[in-house]
Amino acid sequence: MFKYIKKIFAWLPIGIAALGSVGAFIVKWDDIVEVYREYVDCEENTSQYAKDLFSNPNQANLQVKVLPDLSFKEGENMYMRFISEKDGQLLVFDINSEGALTLLMPNQYYNDGFKLQANKEFIMPENNWGFDFPAEEPFGNGMLVSILIEDEIDLKSILPVSFQALSAGMAKPILQHLNDQLTQSVMLDGVLRPYKWSGVISNYEINNQ
């Protein structure tokens, strides 16, 4: 999707085998794949798979808008605008037309995550990042998956694998792992319950002319 996406991930290990210690968590790629092996060969495309997992009731009224339009010609810059009625940690993924998954937030500018403040607009990329998101191949329909987590959380505890981009087959285990972490019951504020989170799916298209 993005021509300059690698600049965002200069802080991450290179390649899809990029795993290892993140804080107190030590995760091996083989372990993730082994636990979620059935999802690697799942025939459902990545976009539909993500939509099924993260079209959560939007309790925070998280709103995501792709700018300036939903359809882009090659080389046109894409921006994303976020606003929510609740504070929360923001996770953003891109799924391109081939089903590959890219992590857009957190990134090198918000290594420990980004907290979206209630009723305060956030536009990505920010001016001080020094680059844009020009649309490029693969052409076709893509999708943004935006997740707002209202509870205080160390994102590395639910997304312990560092990566730049993953193929469609490898993307599904990560997405399933993330969903399992968000929906499991954990002790929060003295109560055993799942995390409070909202998910928004945003579609876009990239054309070659």
Sort strands 71-73 and 197-207 into parallel, antiparallel or unpaired. parallel
Between CA 127 and CA 132, with CA 128 as vertex, the angle to 5 degrees is: 50
Full pLDDT tens readout for the chain, 209 residues: 554 444 444 333 322 232 233 333 334 556 666 666 666 666 678 999 999 999 878 999 999 999 999 999 999 999 999 999 999 999 999 999 999 999 988 887 887 788 999 999 999 988 887 778 889 999 999 999 999 999 998 888 887 666 678 888 788 888 988 999 999 998 988 999 999 999 999 999 999 87
Nearest one of 111, 100, 127, 98 to 9, comparing CA atoms: 111
Domains and their CATH numbers in the chain: 5-207 (2.60.40.2550)
